[in-house]
Amino acid sequence: MKVPDYYAVLGVSRQATQDEIRKAYRRLARKYHPDVSKEPDAGRRMAEVNEANEVLSDPKKRAVYDEVGHQAWAQGARSADDVRPPPGWNRGYEQTAAHGQGAGAGAGFAQDHSEFFEELFGRAARERARQHSRRSGGPQAWPGEDQHAEIELDLEEAWHGAEKTLQLDTLRATEDGGVVPERRTLQVRIPAGVAAGQLIRLAGQGLPGFGGGPAGDLFLRVDIRPGPHHRVNGRDVTLQVFVTPWEAALGGDIVVQTPAGPLTVVVPAGSSTGRKLRVRGKGIPGRQPGDLYLALDIAVPGAVTPEQKAAWTALAQAYPGFNPRPR
């Protein structure tokens, strides 16, 4: 049985706090609970969410899961002794954090760990070989496992696409049927209009096959870096937009700079800080583009010159009954 990566199931990073894991579980439970969900595969997804939460919400189980690695856990390892990893072993091949140009996961592997890798992957590989041989009646050739990694993008890179150089810790099959660790450098083309949480599939870039079988695929999970003036939810983007007090009070057209270029929008008269303007279809592009939300924030200029002070005094006198702090 294929066991999905528990962090990916909950949609959290491997450094997530217990509070983040708890919130992610509650959010997914509300979405996939069979009693309320309209998703066609709600039962299966809810089972995966429950299983992932059972392990990651328990500090002891999570520590073992992180120590032995996902592949070993999937094969039934429930303690470090089940797989006997060598000291200092880097598990970057399993869930690599690939963050931009020349970045990768951890240091390189030692070259004398082939026995451990053979043990870690040998059981699953041999079982797949036997099943494949029984089904096909042919030689023992079977495909490699898929590999998963994360890639972090700026909002502009996700919006317009980009070329990224990634370093990936993975495995390579040897002529004698074993596996050895290998660090690869990949040139990855990020298509325009990728959303947070989306998977980018790189065919044949996963773990190696054996006996002439093809390699698995590499799936890159997109994460969009947060910014001081924007938030991203799927393909929807919220931008913080500063307006003057008179623009907020009187309304009118303003020009907003977006990743797609300048955009003219109308600020309704009487707007206040926190008001959101929705521009349909102007979020991250795609087959179904997201929406762009403009969160207004009133920027108040200072009163430095005598003329400016007089203007603010006149404004105060024009609103003698205005009190922003009602009882």
What's the pLDDT tens digit per position in 12-62?
988 889 999 988 988 888 888 776 777 777 788 888 888 888 889 888 888
Looking at beta carbons, which pairs linking 285-292 to residues 24 or more positions away fall under 8 Å?
285/159, 285/192, 285/193, 285/260, 286/193, 286/195, 286/235, 288/235, 289/193, 289/235, 290/195, 290/234, 290/235, 290/236, 290/237, 291/235, 291/236, 291/237, 292/236, 292/237, 292/238, 292/239, 292/258, 292/263
Q: Which residue has the higher pLDDT, 293 or 52?
A: 293
Beta strands in the chain (DSSP E): 95-98, 147-153, 162-173, 179-190, 199-202, 218-224, 230-233, 236-243, 252-258, 261-267, 276-279, 292-298
Main-chain phi, psi angles of 24, to 5 degrees: -65, -40
Instruction: Return the bridge partners of 187, or none.
Output: 165
- Domain spanning 1-77: CATH 3.30.420.40: no
What SS3 state is found at 89?
Answer: coil
Rounded CA separation 267/265 (Å): 6
Domain boundaries, the chain: 1-77, 88-225, 230-318
For the domain covering 230-318, report its CATH number.
2.60.260.20
The pLDDT of residue 116:
39
What is the reported pLDDT for 90? 33
Q: What is the mean pLDDT of residues 244-270?
A: 95
Give pLDDT, residue 210.
72
pLDDT at position 130 is: 52
Is CATH 2.60.260.20 the right assignment for the domain spanning 88-225? Answer: yes
**What is the pTM assigned to this prediction?**
0.55
Whether 230-318 and 1-77 are alike in CATH topology: the answer is: no
